[in-house]
Amino acid sequence: MKTIRIGLALALLSTQALGQAALPKKTIRLAETQAALLLEQVPQAAQAKPAAAGKPALVSPRTLTPTGELVLVASRDWTSGFFPGYLWLLAEATGQEKWRTAAKTYTANIEPEKTNATTHDMGFKVYCSFGTGYRLTQDAAYRDVILQSARTLSTRFNPKVGALRSWDHHRETWGYPVIIDNMLNLELLFAATRISGDSSFYKIAVSHANTTLRNHFRADFSSYHVVDYDTLTGLVVKKNTHQGFADESAWARGQAWALYGYTMCYRETKNKAYLTQAENVARFLLNHPNLPKDLIPYWDFNAPSIPNEPRDASAAAVMASGLYELSTYSPNGALYRSKADKIMSSLTKHYTAKPGGSRGFLLLHSTGSKPANSEVDVPLIYADYYFMEALLRRKTLGPVNSVSKR
């Protein structure tokens, strides 16, 4: 009996160790080197190519041009919050004040977005910057920005449809488009309820998640990119794509958004339907015959020229971060943790920039929009953000399936 107890204790310690993995020092050093370079490059690029007269200031790095020039964006761009968020995560990973100082500076640049009601991307912009900062500092001013941003985002909710409107553009194509990406913006609404006690944000988030669950997924649990709704009836008008290969194809980053989004929704609600959906999406991704052995997906799982198609490191980073969290909720946690580890190992070994290269970006070989021939095989700031988040989740999330009490 004593031998059995010792064996169980050792097994428990081994399981707990999985959740307390040390951050890889070499990778963190590279991230610091690259972030320091980006912090030098951004003001230089802004001075060399300032915003046009009457246009908002360029405040955050997004990617590189085909000729290697740094691309900066204004706060209204959907990617603007990832760089300050990345700096916050780097501060968390290292404990160094210089990264917190830089994070505060670049986070402040995003504050004008708190009242920008023309976009659904409030979570990407504000939660990744102010939300991450608030988690680490408990700054009351950050709390206020989160709440105002949630109020602004809530104005895009249509009760008849039961979802938040995604885009205002392409009105000749869609009457009321909802994209799978929008699942990530729900985290801002959940956070707003948590810090304010106002359940209206929570109800909107749940309604959106439920509407998306009903209408975005195929029988194999792959997701459409865009679902268009009739605002008078709330019924689906059409289902198609904007960034994928075809309407019926599985755009890789869209599938990663779905995995991450429903895992997050389960965390916030403990609704078993969301956990089941996250596991279904994970099964689709991990068992797909077109998923490469290194687990870094092609930009679309149904792209016509596989294996001669661009990869998407950003989709892989989102997948890894989502799988790490899912591993703590699911009976299949050990599998999800091992797959996330494999993704991170592949990204670290074969998809990172050389120190001092790529203008300071960390990950290479992402794909923004292949159909538009935009941002193909380039660094993307959101890839760096989710890669760093995945590293930290691996260290801090805790044991596999540690809270799976369903």
Catalytic residue positions, numbered = 121, 181
**DSSP-derived pairing of the beta strands 236-240 and 226-229:** antiparallel
Rounded to 5, what percent of the chain is helix, strand, coil?
A: 55, 10, 35
Q: Residue 390, class by beta-carbon neighbours within 10 Å (0-12 exposed, 13-18 middle, 19+ buried)? A: buried
Scanning the structure block, which residue is given the tokens 């669950």?
213
Which tokens sit at 247? Answer: 């309407």
Q: Count other Cβ atoms within 10 Å, centred on residue 2.
A: 6
CA distances to 190, 332, 333 from 404, rounded to whole Å, are 20, 10, 9
* Alpha-carbon span 90 to 80, nearest angstrom: 17
Residues found in the chain: 406
Residue 209 in tokens: 């998640």
Q: Are 332 and 346 in contact (CB under 8 A)?
A: no
Contact predicate 64/361, CB 8 Å: yes
Phi, psi of 12 (to 5 degrees): -65, -45
From residue 53, alpha-carbon distances to 50, 56, 69, 118, 357 in Å are 9, 8, 21, 22, 31
CA dist list (Å): 93 to 49, 83, 127, 232: 33, 15, 19, 49
Give the H/E segment covering residue 15.
helix 2-18
Q: Considering all CA atoms of the chain, what is the largest pairwise distance in Å, rounded to the nearest integer?
A: 78
